[in-house]
C-alpha cells in the first residue's frame, strides 16, 4: 500500500501543472496571499453579524508556519480573521476557542496578542465553516 501511494504521488510530479491541484498540501502551500484575503473578505460580514456583539472581528494579514520539525522557521504570507473581546476579557477568547474545538468538526484557532486568530490558508470549504461557526 505504501509503495502504491508513493508511486501514485511520484506520477503526479511527472505532470508539474497538475501536482499543486492534485495534492492538497501543495495546493494549500501554493495559495497566494491575495487569494486568501479574498476568502477572508467573503467570510467576514456574516461572521461579524454573528460575533460582532461580543468581539471586534477583523480580517488581518498574517504568516502561516509551514513546518514544525523539518522547517520550523519557514512562514508564508497569509490572511486570518481575528476576534478581539470588546470588554478585553481573555476568558471570552478561551471560551470561544473551547466552543469551536467541541464542534462536530472542530475549528481550531490560536490565541495570541489578545486575539483569537482563525487562519484561512488551509480552509477548503468556506460554506461548511460558516455553517459551523454561525450555529453557535
Domain boundaries, the chain: 1-30, 32-134
The residues, any chain, with a CB within 8 Å of residue 136's CB and separated by 6 or more, are: 50, 99, 100
pLDDT at 65: 78
Can you tell me the distance from the alpha carbon of 107 to that of 104, in angstroms, rounded to the nearest whole number?
Answer: 9
Cα-Cα-Cα-Cα torsion 70, 10, 22, 118, nearest 10 degrees, comes to: -10
pLDDT at 61: 92
pLDDT at 135: 82
pLDDT at 25: 65
pLDDT at 136: 59
**Cβ distance 61 to 75 under 8 Å?**
no
Q: If you classify domain 32-134 with CATH, what class do you get?
A: alpha beta
Low-confidence ranges of the chain (pLDDT < 70): 16-30, 67-72, 136
Amino acid at each position: 500500500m505504501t509503495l502504491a501511494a508513493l508511486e501514485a504521488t511520484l506520477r503526479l510530479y511527472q505532470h508539474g501543472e497538475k501536482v499543486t491541484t492534485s495534492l492538497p498540501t501543495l495546493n494549500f502551500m501554493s495559495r497566494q496571499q491575495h487569494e486568501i484575503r479574498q476568502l477572508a473578505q467573503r467570510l467576514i460580514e456574516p461572521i461579524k453579524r454573528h460575533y460582532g456583539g461580543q468581539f471586534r472581528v477583523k480580517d488581518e494579514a498574517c504568516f502561516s508556519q509551514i513546518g514544525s520539525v523539518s522547517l520550523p522557521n519557514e512562514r508564508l504570507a497569509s490572511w486570518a480573521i481575528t476576534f478581539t473581546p470588546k470588554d478585553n476579557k481573555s476568558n471570552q477568547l478561551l471560551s470561544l476557542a473551547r466552543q469551536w474545538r467541541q464542534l462536530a468538526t472542530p475549528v481550531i484557532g490560536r490565541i495570541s496578542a489578545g486575539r483569537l486568530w482563525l487562519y484561512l490558508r488551509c480552509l477548503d470549504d468556506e460554506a461548511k465553516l460558516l455553517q459551523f461557526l454561525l450555529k453557535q
